[in-house]
Amino acid sequence: MAGVYISFRREPVSDRIYAALLADQTSINAAIGQPVQWQTTDKWNSVQIWREFGDQMLTKRRAEVQAWLGDLMNRFINTFRPRIDAVLRDN
């Protein structure tokens, strides 16, 4: 299994960031273009995507996994960075 996630420790500033992201959840999900999991625990907030590649993900499927992770990382960066920057600028 491989995946990409962004997580925030439950603290006032990071809770504000996560709340702003949640308010824009529909737009974020569309921008990512893959099933996104939004999770909250007593210690963390996170946004994550995981995909099962089977037992050959590091051998026969290595190039496929790398391409998927690279694309997804770019989507996360391009989607989350400007939104997080905007929240931090407003505080």
- Summarize the confidence of residues 22-50 as an average pLDDT: 97
Neighbouring-strand partners of residue 50: 3
Give the rounded distance of the alpha carbon of 75 from its chain centre. Answer: 9
> What pLDDT shows up at residue 40?
97
Mind listing the pLDDT tens digit for each residue in 39-87? 999 999 999 999 999 999 889 999 999 999 999 999 999 999 999 999 9
Given this model, what pLDDT does residue 58 score? Answer: 86
Separation of alpha carbons 77 and 88, rounded Å: 16
Better-predicted residue by pLDDT, 91 or 11 = 11
Cβ atoms within 10 A of the Cβ of 28, count?
19
Q: Which domains does the chain have, with CATH numbers?
A: 2-86 (3.30.310)
